[in-house]
Amino acid sequence: MGLQDRVRKAVEGTTELEGMRRSFGTILDRQRLNIGRLPDLDSRRERLRKLKERCVGDEDLFSDAVASLEGNGCRVILAKDAGSALRAIRSEVSGSKLVVKSKSNITKELHLVQRLSDLGVQVIETDLGDRIVQLAGCDAVHPTGPACHLTRGQISALLSEHFGRTISDDPDELTAAVKEEIAGFLDVATVGLTGANAITACEGAVVIVHNEGNAAKCAMLPGKHIVVTTPEKIVPSLDDAMNLVKLQTFFSTGKVTTAYVNVIAGPSYTADIEKKIFRGMHGPAEVVVIFVDGGRLAAGDSESMYCIGCGSCVTRCPVYEVVGPVFGTSGHVGGQGVYLSAARGALSESVEGGLQLCTSCGECREACPVDIDIRKGILNSRNECLKQNGEMLPEHETVTKSVRNYDNPWQMPRARRSRWAKGLGLPGKGEVLYFAGCSTSLLHPETARCAVRLLRAAGEKPAYLGSSESCCGSTANKIGDVGLARDKAEACFDAFSSAGAKTVVVSCPGCYSALDSCDDLKERHEVQVVHITEFLDERLAKLPLTRLDLPETVTYHDPCDLGRERGVFDAPRRLIEAATGGPAVEMERSRLESHCCGAGSGVKSGLPELSVAIARTRIGHAESVGADMILTACPWCVQNLRDCQSGKESVKVIDLLELLDRALDPTPGR
Ligand code: SF4
Ligand code: SF4
């Protein structure tokens, strides 16, 4: 089934992921509750980020780690790719018919369980969630809560069928049944396979984090312990590993500590009799560490390699919330999964995993303990994909053709763009220039007229480019056509110069972000770009606003490109307060934690069902704080939040400029 069909299926069956959403809510609640117990959280994050910047791709550190591991009696194998990794693992388990295994993302990337099973080797997942997912034959939805989308009723049905007897939906009974079965496998297995949360170069140790106790048993009970891991897990020392463990625990579960941290530095041994080394005293006699490269070393120090696999990014991702593991690649969930695949050269896998699903909202970066900019990574990967394979969704090809042919993404005739300005008498030249952008001009012309009335009311004489106004290139950029985007931005700045503009006032956050991020063009043309909410906020004293006596409870939705991307949070709120006499009610997720409306980055044109489903979630956030009016400052957000409504909802969606325009004092001659 193709990606778009899988997305549609997930959107239609959205209730199937209710359990996952509840579990993610629990993680976020626990993080809020426990954050005070980690007063040094920010400095820990900074330390981890710096460590990753220093260590990922460091070949000397890799050599040190190998030397230390070997010095401790481990055998070390470097597998260049999936094929050689599978051959190495096959050879290490040869002679065994049973392998007990604990959590490891790289083994999922290798499809190891299936590959070994094809060879007649039974692999038993020993983590409860992983075992449930294994029996259910479904995808894991979170690195540390793989089965959190399944209800206890579903698990009861699954286990009853598996064991051939009734297992009730009592969590104790469910847990006991799986525990007993796994204990039987642990007793007889001769090979245990684990991942590693970190490998320390100085001590030559494998660090494994877990709550259930299963990973320790996989590592300790069988005679041979195979660690399958990746080079970017190497950190300089055990101290560094402990910082990583602390952050990984908090960001994956919301807890301040995990139940177990195992440090394994070589095979078990004793020298108690005449100081002669005897290996395999109580634990394994052999420890084999297999580093799977799979394109990682060639990816250099790509940010995608900084990931510690906590899954925090997906607990906040608006796309993942709707489609779950449809978004992601084998072993790596959500946007980070598709970014990682692209970074290690597996572009087709990245596309298949949903490279085009990301709305580029940036929520994941806020959630990431290592500050990984998945959004930027995905946008770069889309561009790479286009350059290498010309690969794009057909709907996105239509969008870029439209930008080329019509100078807007909406396939609307150029002549229609400036119609909204008819009769307003706007000059073509001036120091302050209003840039309306494609979406406002063509879909929300009244908002553009409001913008002009407000600028004039603030004492400005805005100029307007009319039919010379070009698309800013924002949409082309976000769907991967960076060259086209750059051409459009250059055309815009050339027109700004010709019009004598010094300040360009923009009302669409997409245009704002696209134009304001062109530092070289701003400098060359000596032009500053501001969003209209900032511009009006600075002139609030001059604005003749009357207090609107609104019967509604008002909330404000932060557009991603305006808030998280450009840091404009306060100006719109001050304007709302000036027009309504009171602050907007805040939704639980606002400002830096604001939830995307779902329209961004080509998702609305390429996957409209997904876009609308995300918007419905956002409407729900407004309803849950009793709001009956959502104000926002973006034509895309307005459009999408309206498009998701069936007409039965009580929440109106209004552009902030329209509300401010209503509040303008209707003094004649204004
Ligand atoms: S940018 Fe937004 S949509 Fe994209 S992966 Fe991150 S959270 Fe998900
Ligand atoms: S990208 Fe960041 S938040 Fe997501 S799993 Fe990796 S470390 Fe955690």
Same-domain check for residues 551 and 532 = no
Distance 333 CA to ligand 2 centre (A): 10
Ligand with minimal distance to 603 CA: 1
> How far apart, in whole angstroms, are the C-alpha atoms of residue 425 and residue 419?
12
Alpha helices in 137-213 (DSSP H): 152-163, 171-188
What does DSSP assign to residue 75?
E
Q: CB of 367 closer than 6 A to ligand 2?
A: yes
Q: Which atom of ligand 2 is nearest to the CA of 143?
A: 5
Indicate the residue among 356, 380, 404 that finishes a domain. 380
Same-domain check for residues 489 and 374 = no
Whether 647 maps to a domain, the answer reads yes
433-454 exposure pattern, b = at least 16 Cβ within 10 A, e = fewer: bbbbbbbbbbebbebbbbbbbb
pLDDT per residue as tens digits for the range 516-563 = 999 999 999 999 999 999 999 999 999 999 999 888 899 999 999 999
CATH code of 266's domain: 3.40.50.10420
| Total domain count, the chain | 4
Q: CB of 370 closer than 6 A to ligand 2?
A: yes
Nearest CA to ligand 1 atom 5: 335
φ and ψ at residue 123, rounded to 5 degrees: -115, 125
CATH code of 643's domain: 3.40.50.1860
> How far apart, in whole angstroms, are the C-alpha atoms of residue 469 and residue 421?
12
Distance 378 CA to ligand 2 centre (A): 14
pLDDT per residue as tens digits for the range 323-346 = 999 999 988 999 999 999 999 999
Distance 290 CA to ligand 1 centre (A): 32
Same-domain check for residues 21 and 74 = no
Return the best residue to mutate from 304, 317, 372 for the ligand 2 pocket (most ligand atoms within 8 A of CB).
Answer: 372
Same-domain check for residues 368 and 399 = no
Same-domain check for residues 551 and 533 = no
pLDDT per residue as tens digits for the range 613-643 = 999 999 999 999 999 999 999 999 999 999 9
> How far apart, in whole angstroms, are the C-alpha atoms of residue 413 and residue 410?
9
What does DSSP assign to residue 214?
H
Alpha helices in 272-317 (DSSP H): 312-316
Return the best residue to mutate from 370, 374, 375, 378 for the ligand 2 pocket (most ligand atoms within 8 A of CB).
Answer: 370
Same-domain check for residues 98 and 171 = yes
Same-domain check for residues 214 and 320 = no
Q: CB of 334 closer than 6 A to ligand 2?
A: no
CATH code of 527's domain: 3.40.50
Whether 44 maps to a domain, the answer reads no
Same-domain check for residues 558 and 628 = yes
- What is the end-to-end Cα distance of the chain in Å, rounded? 59
Distance 110 CA to ligand 1 centre (A): 25
Distance 559 CA to ligand 1 centre (A): 14
Same-domain check for residues 365 and 242 = no
Whether 46 maps to a domain, the answer reads no
Same-domain check for residues 257 and 204 = yes
pLDDT per residue as tens digits for the range 414-463 = 999 999 999 999 999 999 999 999 999 999 999 999 999 999 999 999 99
Same-domain check for residues 360 and 214 = no
> Where does ligand 1 bind, in terms of residues with CB under 6 Å?
317-319, 334-335, 358-364, 374-375
Nearest CA to ligand 1 atom 4: 358
Whether 87 maps to a domain, the answer reads yes
Whether 42 maps to a domain, the answer reads no
Q: Is the pTM of this model over 0.75?
A: yes
Same-domain check for residues 655 and 562 = yes
**Which residue range is the domain that position 156 belongs to?**
56-292
pLDDT reported for residue 297: 83
Nearest CA to ligand 2 atom 8: 310
